[in-house]
Chain A
Amino acid sequence: MVLDVKTRTKPVTGTVRVMTGNEACAEAAVAAGLGFFAGYPITPSSEIAEGLARTLPRSGGTFLQMEDEIGAMGAVIGASLAGAKAMTATSGPGFSLKQENIGYACMAEVPCVVVNVQRGGPSTGLPTLPAQGDVMQARWGTHGDHQIIVLVPRGVRETYDLTVRAFNLAEALRTPVILLLDEIVGHVSEKVVLPAEIEVVERERPDASARKYLPYEETDSDVPPMASFGEGRRFHVTGLAHDETGFPTNDSRKIERLLLRLDRKIRRYAAQIVQVDESLDEGATVGVFAYGSTARSAARAVRLARAEGIKVDFLAPLTLWPFATPQVAAMGTRVRHIVVPEMNLGQMAHEVEWAVGREAAVHSLTRVDGEPIRPSQVLERIREVARR
């Protein structure tokens, strides 16, 4: 469903709005300074493209409907190299198609935001129904070792905030950031109060002279300052393994230095990148780990369980990757059981198990029939494990 902008009376920042997650994403992107969007129609993400087709040219940015998903990802990378904050939006099948170029953006360190409004898969799957089956594709979809940042909002206001954050992290770290919505978050219409002010990061520009500029310089921060095409620094960009100059190299030492830096660049800032929403209960024996729209059902289940006298810890990650290992490991030391509801066959439950080791038993609660996980399902599982 698309709200008609014209029917709204004077929408004012900082006041109450009614909008969907997809609409919030499109609006937040413009607020964050989006200069270029390229996309391809796909359910359930199309409203993001439709919204930006209306608003982006009004703010002087470019909206471009490309001939396919791969082309949209390529255009986004090209625009970012030319200096624009750039974004694309898609869903599962399109996300699969974009993976090669997402890897290019990792390798060539090109900031960009890729929105994936998840639907049921594999293949054409369930175009109009919710799922969370792309959490591992988001992490490992492109070939080769790489780090990736994946943000996972639970509702409309959080989609707005995490869209802005996605741009900030992309620009700060010269890396693609995946914003992982699900069909429910994308299409749910909620009352929200939008922020009156947002924090915006611009990518660090080089101050070195044109002659000395090294586009992939090894700096203290591990993030090389980024010039744009057409500014007088004529540098080379390639997806091949390259040295600090940006040109291809077969020197094994230089190759290793590059790949380790790309890995370290995200890993060393993980504590800052990872955000979680925790609700601790003194003496809890049961923990719940849930993300995306499923975290909404889980939060209600936790409230109901507590009302019944069951002590429950709750952890909802807003950053799915890098994984919130310290927080999840800490939960494992507090509780005996962790329930992980998710609309897939247990993709993140494995990661939770990995993080807690033998400290707690992990109970995967899965659903892949196109229906959301209901609070009653989570509550039932909480009751069951609390009795053990």
Chain B
Amino acid sequence: MIDYEHYLRVEKFPLIWCPGCGHGIVLKAILRAVDRIGLEKDGVAMVSGIGCASRAPGYVDFNTLHTTHGRAITFATGVKMARPDLTVIVATGDGDATAIGGNHFIHAARRNIDMTVVLFNNWIYGMTGGQASPTTPFGCHATTAPYGNPESSFDISGLAVAAGASYVARGTVTQPTKLDRFIEQGIRKRGFALIEAFTPCPTAFGRQNGMARSTDLLQWMKANTITVKQAEKMDRADLDGKLVTGVVADVEKPEYAQQYATLVERLRAEGGQDAPAPARRPISAADLLVEGGVS
């Protein structure tokens, strides 16, 4: 049995998330996955962008990095390349990862850099008060779609597969034990892994769409959740509005950080032709910082 408090900064409670929000369930699934693999807390870096989901790192006792809107994956890329031994987990939302951060999302998948992106998909911008996101379903209401969303929504997992991710799975907070297994597999996979987690936002999404109570939203989610296998037997048209869960992709392919390390090894073995570097004389910061300000 997992001791959640071992991984949590309980002194930072209560959580910023609203009553009825599903984000805590996703966060617990991440912790169960980390616990089952047996990762040391020092060896995990959790990176996030901006939004409700991106507040997750503040509550976990890892190396945690809360960055700018949409850019979590880029900061995570720098962390991973500077410290390839770290397990890098990105906590992000549908708007953070696929609107403002869409370019980084697809390129990290293409690069197949070893990180696990847990995308909290609640179909809405929650923190800013309920604006339409790239995953808000067609016709659903949002503060910026007051007459119903006229846009089509993203198939995020399909996007990740097409871009080249090694591992892609969809889960839902209504099936939390499946969700933690997907996250575990994603972390174990050497390469870019995406776990899309459907999570209810009664405050910003539910209230605008006739499901103000979290239980209404959860029941709507459960009623529409089907498996990848079930979906394969269905007509495409009937899949509209369904939450298709399961492993979407699981392939072996070269991972970027490892490829780069191999390149460094090869070049070192060959020996360089660079100009010899000058001798380095270490001086302390204090030597550089003699006080005396401009008036």
Interface residues in chain A, defined as those with a beta carbon under 8 Å from any beta carbon in chain B: 5-6, 8, 11-14, 17, 27, 30-31, 33, 35-36, 38, 55, 57-60, 62, 64, 66-68, 70-84, 86, 100-101, 104, 168-169, 171-173, 194-204, 221, 223, 228-232, 234-240, 247-248, 267-272, 274, 322-326
Contact = CB atoms under 8 A, between A and B. Distances in A.
Interface residues of B, number: 62
Given A196-B279, A223-B289, 19 more contacts: A5-B274, A8-B275, A13-B277, A55-B272, A58-B274, A60-B268, A62-B260, A79-B81, A82-B78, A82-B79, A100-B68, A168-B283, A194-B278, A197-B279, A200-B282, A240-B66, A271-B292, A322-B294, A325-B295
Contacts of B277: 13, 30-31
B112 to A, nearest CB: 14
Contact of B75 (A27, A77, A196): A77
A201 B284 contact: yes
B194 interface: no
A177 to B, nearest CB: 12
B35 to A, nearest CB: 16
B78 A203 contact: no
Contacts of B275: 5, 8, 11-13, 17, 27, 194
Interface stretch (B19-27, B56-64, B122-130): B56-64
Contacts of B279: 196-198
B199 interface: no
B61 to A, nearest CB: 6
B286 interface: yes
Nearest to A64: B81
A221 B66 CA distance: 26
Nearest to A232: B42
B71 to A, nearest CB: 4
B280 A71 contact: no
Nearest to B75: A78
B72 to A, nearest CB: 8
A233 to B, nearest CB: 8
B83 A229 contact: yes
8 contacts: A30-B274, A31-B277, A58-B264, A58-B267, A82-B82, A86-B78, A231-B42, A322-B294
Interface of B: 12, 41-43, 45, 47, 57-58, 61-68, 71, 73-83, 85-86, 103-104, 107, 260, 263-264, 267-268, 272-295
B295 A326 contact: yes
A359 to B, nearest CB: 15
Contact of A267 (B79, B260, B282, B293): B293
A236 B74 contact: no
Contacts, number: 240
A230 B81 CA distance: 13
Contacts of A14: 278
Contacts of A271: 290-294
Secondary structure of the A contact surface, majority rule: mixed
Contacts of A33: 280
Contact of A71 (B57, B103, B281, B286): B103
A195 B73 CA distance: 39
Nearest to A202: B282
A83 B79 CA distance: 9
A172 B290 CA distance: 11
Nearest to A225: B285
B274 to A, nearest CB: 5
A82 B88 CA distance: 12
A79 B41 CA distance: 19
Contacts of A11: 275-276
* CB-CB nearest 4 A-B residue pairs: A78-B78, A74-B74, A271-B292, A79-B78
- A64, A173, A274: most-surrounded residue (chain B CB, <10 A): A64
A45 B266 CA distance: 28
B83 A83 contact: yes
B82 A36 contact: yes
Contact of A77 (B61, B78, B289): B78
Contacts of B272: 55, 58-59
Contact of B289 (A17, A234, A272): A272
